[in-house]
Structure 1
Amino acid sequence: MLSKEDNALITQVGPGTAMGAVMREYWLPILLSCELQEKDGRPLRVRVLGEDLVAFRDSNGTIGLLEEHCPHRGASLYFGRNEECGLRCVYHGWKYDVNGNITDMPNEPPQSTFKDRLKAIAYPCVERNGTVWAYLGSKCAEQRPSLPDLEWNLVPQSRCYISKRYQECNWVQAYEGGIDSSHVSFLHSRLNSTDFTGSPREQGMKYMAGDKFPHYETLETPYGMMVGARRSAEPGFHYWRITQCLMPFYTILPSYGADSPVSGHAWVPIDDHTTMVWTITWHPTRDLTEEELDDMRYWSPDRVGTSEGNGRHLPLDMYIQETSNPGSRWKPKLNKGNDYLIDWEAQATKAFSGIPTISMQDQAVQESMGPIYDRRKEHLGTADMAIIRMRQLWLKAAKGLRDRQVVPVGLYAPQSYHIRSASIRLPDGIDWASEATQVTSANQDEVHFI
């Protein structure tokens, strides 16, 4: 369990908080480029780390990210006119460029220098491979870190598929679900554990169904932590699921087949009570096929467990109608208001939970814990080893930066993020950590598998 103080320390991310300060040191993925397609198009409300912001693409195609409220009288810049390389407040016409400079103040005399003495709060943004990254920290351009070399943001866009979903709970309990390997044997399982095909993915699921209490080991790394979850396999062998936990909020999940895509998540805090969950599937060496893309875009219970993407991404038809509220485009139709459309008959006869899709099974149980769970009430066991170790890393980062200005892990080691996870079958007695360093490198032309 965590004390009340430590629980608050890692869960609170707004301005002035210790964990919020840690996250502001990193570049953060905040939007897909396609969310701001048009130059001089309509602005977009964005909320991240408890701050209300407005994003826009200017006449030159550059992304701007400004505090939502105009410094003049506080009107929302969401209603602003995006024109001629700036966003103009419709209340009194003050105009701001992507750096927050006031380029026009038409309700002041022409000779006034007032506009030269003010700026809007603006955060630098860069785009890479279809993702918009923002830096919300205070470092000058020369001192800022580089973007992390996450493989999914380096491969051509034709090799990568990204979906997002709005989750109504704190980022920590969402993230912890992502590194909890033991829940896969229950929450995402079928009732007939013998109904598996011979595919590598299905073989991995068979191991997880057959051994429900994995042995955990962890290894600290330059980017965060690597987790090994060991299960029994055939006589003389163990099955290892190796998950990467990258600071401050990324995970990479084990892949299965020799030609299987890789998947991962980014658990980006919107504020203390909501999270934007990014789900990314990519292939290092080839374009994703139409069949693979269809598996991610459309839900089919018949295909559960047969592909990397089916059910992990929220299907295209499972979002509510978009409004102008921040993140509304990514809110699921399945939610706590309709009990996630749980199928009680399916729970009784087919599936352990009865909730459609892997992603919504995760979301349902994580949201059921409340906006921020009181971790003084927990009773952690051996299966929670990865969660315990990750909390220690977060606390170390938050207290280290707050108390001694210690640089957070991985901040200036972007190349260390160029890794993968793996699922491998190893003979008894083999050092999994030594083997993992060989099979998780992204600097090779293959995906490692069972």
Structure 2
Amino acid sequence: MLTLTVNEIPRLATDGGPTTDFFLSHPYLVVWSENQVDVWKFVEKHLTHISTLEELIDKPYTLKPALDHTRALFILPEPIRVGPTRLCVFDLPTGRLLRSIDVPNLYADSEMLYREEDARALVTVVVGQNPNRMTEPYGTTLLLEVDVLAGTSHNPRSLPADLISREAERNIPPQVLEPCFFEHTTGFVASSTTRWLGKVELLAWLPEDNQRQPTHRRELRPDQVAHCKAMLPRRHLALDAHTLVLATHLSGGPSTTEMTLIHALSVPGLETRWEADPIPGQVESLDYVPALEVVVVTSDHDVTDHAERTDDALRFRRLVVLLDARTGERRAMDFLDSEVQGAYVLSCHVFGGRIAVVCDNGEVLVVSVADFLANGFGKEGGDDEKVVMQAVFPGNVIAAGLGEREIVAVAGVRKHPVISENGSESDRPEWEEEEGSVLYAGF
């Protein structure tokens, strides 16, 4: 086990108030507080403050920011505000807002893909809004490319005609185009899901094709697995310029076990290269380790015995599965059990050939992918053996991320309503708040 030493990010003279969240893309660390957003940089395991963003913009809950390492740019979506939705482009060394790109009706619950090669973002926007409808978002969706350097948007890509009417009806939850592959030479791929009907439509567009309609289509269905009725795209990964790895979540209802299927598909043709055996639980992450030619899959599996349990505690297993990137064959698998560990796994990250597991009680385990391939988590007493971890962070860890030689965590933040003993339901509760800390452990 690696030895980790913990440090707290120093307080700045311009106090931004309690920490709320962070975004780590090594070597940069962007930290949100109540009053400002600060940019830090790791240099040989030491952390240096380099700038404060010129404008305070909350971290999005769903739209993930992008960091352009080549140009030292931070692309931050701002989907919810008064006025048009926009992408804000900051210069990291100075914190200056270089440009504010209006992207009308940017859809906050979809994903933004960023291509550093030519500084372009692929986003989902909503069109044809009907203000008389009560559902959100209104209308249908399309994909839009945004040139971050020029501040312009172009190349809209629409749903095929036969899917437009389905999406316009928009059940709850909505069906929308979701980008999942964005490559300069082979084009891009998106999914469109009928959540209650169970199938996933995959749509591909060529990079230089000016047609709005997809050039290739593929339908995935859940009926290949017994008792599964619904399939949802969950995570995606570009294995190379011509291969998309897609994780789809399978469910048949409350009485059946959730499963994950991992597909490797060609781009743009969308033919199946391989499909792995089903993995229990709901996939949380996909990562590729080229040196070992493995895809690392993590999933969260609810193994609670609801018929026997008398309290409200749930039992989860965080699975880590290594798949052969060429064939999809399972090469290794192990898990951590929340009941055995006495804590829930908060995050499981892969970076630089390492797997880092962080639990909500502050315990950490770092293992190389090569060691995991040979020994898993190194349990000596079988599946129910407790995995030995190192107590690194204080309790109440709410977020964690992995860099090249560091693990970053936010710990100690609590917000909960406090209602007086004799108060009525109409009383507005006060908020009790404890200041949090951003900590990092180097190894």
TM-score by shorter chain over 0.5: no
From the two aligned structures, give the one with the greater helix fraction.
1
From the two aligned structures, give the one with the greater strand fraction.
2
Using the size of structure 1 for normalisation, the TM-score is 0.25
Using the size of structure 2 for normalisation, the TM-score is 0.26
